[in-house]
A and B are shown apart, each in its own frame.
Chain A
Amino acid sequence: MGKNLRFKTARAAKDMSQKELAELVSVTRQTINAIENGDYNPSIRLCIAICKALDKTLDQIFWEDEDNAK
Protein backbone atom coordinates (compact mmCIF):
# COMPACT_ATOMS: atom_id res chain seq x y z
CA MET A 1 0.00 0.00 0.00
CA GLY A 2 1.50 3.34 -1.06
CA LYS A 3 1.45 6.68 0.66
CA ASN A 4 -1.86 8.48 0.69
CA LEU A 5 -0.73 11.87 -0.53
CA ARG A 6 -4.24 13.09 -1.21
CA PHE A 7 -5.10 12.61 2.43
CA LYS A 8 -2.02 14.51 3.51
CA THR A 9 -2.75 17.29 1.05
CA ALA A 10 -6.38 17.58 2.16
CA ARG A 11 -5.30 17.79 5.79
CA ALA A 12 -2.68 20.41 4.99
CA ALA A 13 -5.25 22.38 2.98
CA LYS A 14 -7.46 22.55 6.06
CA ASP A 15 -4.40 23.71 8.01
CA MET A 16 -4.74 20.86 10.47
CA SER A 17 -2.00 18.97 12.24
CA GLN A 18 -2.14 15.21 12.54
CA LYS A 19 -2.87 15.60 16.21
CA GLU A 20 -5.81 17.95 15.62
CA LEU A 21 -7.33 15.64 13.05
CA ALA A 22 -6.74 12.65 15.32
CA GLU A 23 -8.59 14.37 18.15
CA LEU A 24 -11.42 15.27 15.81
CA VAL A 25 -11.97 11.67 14.73
CA SER A 26 -11.12 10.13 18.14
CA VAL A 27 -8.03 8.15 17.20
CA THR A 28 -4.36 8.47 18.08
CA ARG A 29 -1.96 10.63 16.09
CA GLN A 30 -0.01 7.53 15.15
CA THR A 31 -3.09 6.10 13.46
CA ILE A 32 -3.42 9.18 11.25
CA ASN A 33 0.30 9.00 10.51
CA ALA A 34 0.02 5.30 9.64
CA ILE A 35 -2.88 5.99 7.24
CA GLU A 36 -0.96 8.79 5.53
CA ASN A 37 2.09 6.57 5.12
CA GLY A 38 0.03 3.67 3.85
CA ASP A 39 0.96 1.48 6.80
CA TYR A 40 -2.59 1.05 8.04
CA ASN A 41 -5.82 0.37 6.19
CA PRO A 42 -8.61 2.18 8.06
CA SER A 43 -12.15 0.89 8.46
CA ILE A 44 -14.93 2.46 6.44
CA ARG A 45 -16.22 4.14 9.60
CA LEU A 46 -12.93 5.87 10.18
CA CYS A 47 -12.65 6.80 6.50
CA ILE A 48 -16.06 8.47 6.67
CA ALA A 49 -15.15 10.31 9.87
CA ILE A 50 -11.94 11.56 8.27
CA CYS A 51 -13.76 12.65 5.10
CA LYS A 52 -16.34 14.55 7.16
CA ALA A 53 -13.60 16.23 9.17
CA LEU A 54 -11.80 17.28 6.00
CA ASP A 55 -14.96 18.16 4.02
CA LYS A 56 -14.08 15.70 1.29
CA THR A 57 -15.71 12.64 -0.20
CA LEU A 58 -14.40 9.09 0.11
CA ASP A 59 -13.47 9.15 -3.57
CA GLN A 60 -11.43 12.29 -3.18
CA ILE A 61 -9.27 10.87 -0.41
CA PHE A 62 -9.34 7.11 -0.43
CA TRP A 63 -10.08 5.95 -3.97
CA GLU A 64 -6.95 4.50 -5.48
CA ASP A 65 -6.14 4.95 -9.13
CA GLU A 66 -2.89 4.79 -11.11
CA ASP A 67 -2.07 8.41 -10.33
CA ASN A 68 -2.47 8.03 -6.61
CA ALA A 69 -1.01 4.56 -6.08
CA LYS A 70 2.68 5.19 -5.47
Chain B
Amino acid sequence: MPSKKSLYFDERQVEIRNKVGHQCFFILYFLLMIDLLLADYGVKWAASPTSIVIVMLSCFGYYLIRIVWAGAYARERENQKHVYLMLGLLAAITTFIAITKKTNLFKESLNISDGGFLRLLLFFFVFFTIVVVSNNISRRKNNGGNE
Protein backbone atom coordinates (compact mmCIF):
# COMPACT_ATOMS: atom_id res chain seq x y z
CA MET B 1 0.00 0.00 0.00
CA PRO B 2 1.15 3.58 -0.42
CA SER B 3 3.35 5.08 2.22
CA LYS B 4 2.07 6.12 5.62
CA LYS B 5 0.20 9.40 5.63
CA SER B 6 2.00 12.64 6.35
CA LEU B 7 5.50 11.23 6.66
CA TYR B 8 6.76 10.68 3.15
CA PHE B 9 6.75 12.15 -0.31
CA ASP B 10 4.54 10.24 -2.69
CA GLU B 11 6.04 8.21 -5.54
CA ARG B 12 5.61 10.94 -8.18
CA GLN B 13 7.29 13.48 -5.91
CA VAL B 14 10.19 11.13 -5.22
CA GLU B 15 10.58 10.49 -8.95
CA ILE B 16 10.63 14.21 -9.76
CA ARG B 17 13.04 15.01 -6.93
CA ASN B 18 15.39 12.26 -8.05
CA LYS B 19 15.23 13.33 -11.68
CA VAL B 20 15.80 17.02 -10.98
CA GLY B 21 18.46 16.27 -8.36
CA HIS B 22 20.32 14.13 -10.87
CA GLN B 23 20.15 16.91 -13.47
CA CYS B 24 21.35 19.47 -10.94
CA PHE B 25 24.28 17.31 -9.92
CA PHE B 26 25.54 17.15 -13.49
CA ILE B 27 24.84 20.83 -14.15
CA LEU B 28 26.79 21.70 -11.00
CA TYR B 29 29.66 19.45 -12.03
CA PHE B 30 29.91 20.91 -15.52
CA LEU B 31 29.55 24.51 -14.38
CA LEU B 32 32.32 24.03 -11.82
CA MET B 33 34.52 22.45 -14.48
CA ILE B 34 33.79 25.32 -16.88
CA ASP B 35 34.61 27.80 -14.12
CA LEU B 36 37.90 26.00 -13.52
CA LEU B 37 38.78 25.86 -17.23
CA LEU B 38 37.88 29.50 -17.79
CA ALA B 39 40.33 30.46 -15.07
CA ASP B 40 43.02 28.43 -16.86
CA TYR B 41 42.38 30.40 -20.05
CA GLY B 42 42.63 33.67 -18.21
CA VAL B 43 38.91 34.44 -18.06
CA LYS B 44 38.13 35.57 -14.57
CA TRP B 45 34.47 36.48 -14.10
CA ALA B 46 34.53 36.41 -10.28
CA ALA B 47 36.97 35.75 -7.49
CA SER B 48 37.41 32.05 -6.71
CA PRO B 49 35.16 31.49 -3.68
CA THR B 50 32.52 33.87 -5.02
CA SER B 51 32.27 32.11 -8.39
CA ILE B 52 31.81 28.72 -6.71
CA VAL B 53 29.14 30.11 -4.40
CA ILE B 54 27.33 31.68 -7.37
CA VAL B 55 27.43 28.39 -9.31
CA MET B 56 26.16 26.44 -6.29
CA LEU B 57 23.40 28.93 -5.56
CA SER B 58 22.33 28.89 -9.21
CA CYS B 59 22.03 25.10 -9.13
CA PHE B 60 20.20 25.21 -5.80
CA GLY B 61 17.82 27.84 -7.17
CA TYR B 62 17.17 25.79 -10.29
CA TYR B 63 16.46 22.70 -8.17
CA LEU B 64 14.15 24.61 -5.86
CA ILE B 65 12.18 26.21 -8.68
CA ARG B 66 11.80 22.94 -10.58
CA ILE B 67 10.54 20.91 -7.61
CA VAL B 68 8.27 23.68 -6.34
CA TRP B 69 6.83 24.05 -9.84
CA ALA B 70 6.18 20.30 -10.00
CA GLY B 71 4.58 20.32 -6.51
CA ALA B 72 7.26 17.99 -5.20
CA TYR B 73 8.70 20.22 -2.51
CA ALA B 74 6.22 19.71 0.32
CA ARG B 75 4.80 16.52 1.73
CA GLU B 76 1.10 15.94 1.60
CA ARG B 77 0.22 16.76 5.22
CA GLU B 78 2.86 18.36 7.25
CA ASN B 79 2.37 20.12 10.52
CA GLN B 80 4.03 23.45 9.90
CA LYS B 81 3.48 25.02 13.31
CA HIS B 82 7.07 24.48 14.39
CA VAL B 83 8.38 25.99 11.13
CA TYR B 84 6.31 29.14 11.59
CA LEU B 85 7.42 29.30 15.22
CA MET B 86 11.05 29.06 14.16
CA LEU B 87 10.55 31.72 11.49
CA GLY B 88 8.84 34.06 13.94
CA LEU B 89 11.58 33.54 16.50
CA LEU B 90 14.30 34.23 13.94
CA ALA B 91 12.48 37.34 12.71
CA ALA B 92 12.14 38.60 16.29
CA ILE B 93 15.80 37.98 17.15
CA THR B 94 17.00 39.53 13.87
CA THR B 95 14.85 42.60 14.41
CA PHE B 96 16.05 42.94 18.00
CA ILE B 97 19.71 42.66 17.00
CA ALA B 98 19.21 45.09 14.10
CA ILE B 99 17.59 47.64 16.44
CA THR B 100 20.31 47.29 19.06
CA LYS B 101 22.95 47.75 16.39
CA LYS B 102 21.19 50.76 14.90
CA THR B 103 20.62 52.43 18.24
CA ASN B 104 24.05 51.46 19.59
CA LEU B 105 22.34 49.87 22.56
CA PHE B 106 24.59 47.57 24.59
CA LYS B 107 27.49 48.49 22.36
CA GLU B 108 29.86 49.00 25.22
CA SER B 109 28.99 45.95 27.28
CA LEU B 110 27.63 43.38 24.83
CA ASN B 111 29.28 42.11 21.68
CA ILE B 112 26.00 40.76 20.29
CA SER B 113 25.51 43.81 18.09
CA ASP B 114 28.45 42.75 15.97
CA GLY B 115 27.81 43.08 12.22
CA GLY B 116 28.87 39.51 11.41
CA PHE B 117 26.37 38.07 13.84
CA LEU B 118 23.61 40.19 12.35
CA ARG B 119 24.54 39.04 8.85
CA LEU B 120 24.41 35.41 10.01
CA LEU B 121 20.97 35.94 11.52
CA LEU B 122 19.79 37.67 8.37
CA PHE B 123 21.08 34.76 6.30
CA PHE B 124 19.16 32.25 8.46
CA PHE B 125 16.05 34.40 8.33
CA VAL B 126 16.17 34.66 4.53
CA PHE B 127 16.92 30.94 4.25
CA PHE B 128 13.97 29.94 6.43
CA THR B 129 11.72 32.39 4.64
CA ILE B 130 12.62 30.78 1.30
CA VAL B 131 11.93 27.32 2.78
CA VAL B 132 8.54 28.34 4.18
CA VAL B 133 7.46 30.20 1.03
CA SER B 134 8.52 27.27 -1.18
CA ASN B 135 6.63 24.90 1.09
CA ASN B 136 3.48 26.96 0.85
CA ILE B 137 3.63 27.33 -2.92
CA SER B 138 4.23 23.61 -3.35
CA ARG B 139 1.39 22.70 -0.98
CA ARG B 140 -0.96 25.11 -2.71
CA LYS B 141 -0.10 23.63 -6.07
CA ASN B 142 -0.75 20.18 -4.61
CA ASN B 143 -4.03 20.83 -2.96
CA GLY B 144 -5.51 23.98 -4.42
CA GLY B 145 -8.58 23.23 -6.53
CA ASN B 146 -10.12 19.94 -7.42
CA GLU B 147 -9.59 19.34 -11.11
Contacts and interface: CB of A to CB of B under 8 A. Distances in A.
Real binding pair: yes
Interface residues of B, number: 18
A29 B4 contact: no
Instruction: Determine which residue in B3, B10, B141 has the highest number of CB atoms from chain A within 10 A of its CB, and name it.
Output: B10
B12 to A, nearest CB: 4
Contacts of B5: 26
Interface residues of A, number: 20
A27 B76 CA distance: 7
B2 A26 contact: yes
A69 to B, nearest CB: 21
B16 to A, nearest CB: 9
Nearest to B147: A18
Interface string B1-32: 11111000011110000000000000000000
A9 interface: no
Nearest to B74: A28
B147 A33 contact: yes
A28 B146 contact: no
A28 B2 contact: no
B136 interface: no
Interface of B: 1-5, 10-13, 70-71, 76, 141-143, 145-147
**Nearest 3 Cβ contacts at the A-B interface:** A27-B10, A26-B2, A28-B142
Interface of A: 17-19, 22-23, 25-31, 33-34, 40, 42-43, 45-46, 49
